[in-house]
Amino acid sequence: MLQINNLHCELEDDSEVKILKGLSLTINAGEVHAIMGPNGSGKSTLSYVLSGRDGYTVTDGSATLEGADLLEMEPEERAAAGLFLAFQYPVEIPGVGNMTFLRTAVNAQRKARGEEELSAGDFLKLVRAKAKELQIDADMLKRPVNVGFSGGEKKRNEILQMAMLEPKMCILDETDSGLDVDAMKLVSDGVNALRDAGRSFLVITHYQRLLNHIKPDVVHIMSEGRIIKTGGPELALEVEENGYADLLAEAAA
């Protein structure tokens, strides 16, 4: 599904700041991978580079989604190709209704893939059903995108978008940040409901707790712009127990 090979990147404004320094990662269809690591290890940057945000220059390496070169695509092309980033800090867009936003996005992607656009009626039915599962009320759908949403509401809105857009490769960037236990459960249930053999996930998180809800197949530890260790779910528990220090020391040795 997602193949990242020896990826290097630096800040566009300051080529002295290297963030990814040879990151490699392969995620097969249907797998859930987690990336953990201390602050500043480059986790969020990875999600931005994959989704095509401005401000970073890729200096080496590659990233492909089902064989297609992600790095060559515009952000919307990546989305149409099936990549989805659930943002750590979803942006507020005053004046754009949540429904308008969702419908525009769904139909733009369908159009890009050569599919029929959803009719207003079908769209409405679909969005109501999905929203109900995530306990998103009608009022939230009417309000402008993320404007005045609580932290939990914003994250649930991200998952609702994921459910509507049905991407192949989902990246969740610190989705647990700012969530209380109940909200985390709700969001995790939403994600778990989307797990299937054709869909992969990359869960970026600082803490192990989210991984109690979204069980990963593979856990990677990231530091200084690289994967320094890969293992099973037990690796996350090890971090929870002992912190990152031992792992970092081990990698440095």
Partner 1 sequence: MMPRAKLKAQKVEAAGALLAGRELPAGGAWITKARTAAAARVASMGLPSKRDEYWRYTDPRRLTAPAPEAAKLHVTDDEAPLFDGFDRLKLVFVDGVFDAQASDALALPGVEICTLADAARTDLHWARDLFGALEARGQAPVERSLASLNTAHATEGLLIRITATPPKPIALVYRRANLAGDAMVHHVIRVEGGAEATILENGPMAARFNQVTEVDIADGATLHHIRAQGRDHERAGITHLFAKLGAGAQLKSFTLSANGALVRNEAVIWLDGAEGSAHIAGATVGDGAFHHDDTVFVTHGAPRCESRQVFKKVLRHGAVGVFQGKILVDQIAQLTDGYQISQSLLLDEDAQFLAKPELEIYADDVKCSHGSTSGEIDHNQLFYLRARGVPEDRAKMLLVLAFLSEALEEIADPAYADDLRDRLESWFKRRS
Residue span binding partner 1 (CB under 8 A) among the ranges 99-107, 119-127, 190-198, 220-228? 99-107
Query: Among 101, 117, 189, 215, which residue sits at the site for partner 1 (rule: CB under 8 A)?
Result: 101
150 binds partner 1 (CB under 8 A): no
How open is the CA angle 12-13-15, to the nearest 5 degrees? 70
Residue 6 Cβ, how far from partner 1 at the closest point, in Å?
24
Q: Total residues at the site for partner 1 (CB under 8 A)? A: 28
Query: What character string, x for contact with partner 1 (CB under 8 A) and - otherwise, covers 50-89?
Result: -xxxx-------------------xxx-xxx----x-x--
Q: Is the torsion defined by CA of 144, 150, 154, 156 positive or negative?
A: negative
The residues that bridge with 156 in the sheet, in sequence order, are none
Do the Cβ atoms of 109 and 162 come closer than 8 Å? no
Distance CA 80, CA 44 (A): 21
Residue 118 Cβ, how far from partner 1 at the closest point, in Å?
13
119 binds partner 1 (CB under 8 A): no
How open is the CA angle 127-130-133, to the nearest 5 degrees? 145
Instruction: Report how far apart the first and last C-alpha atoms of the chain are (Å, whole number).
Output: 33
Binding site for partner 1 (CB under 8 A): 51-54, 74-76, 78-80, 85, 87, 90-91, 93-96, 100-101, 104-105, 108-109, 112, 144, 161, 165
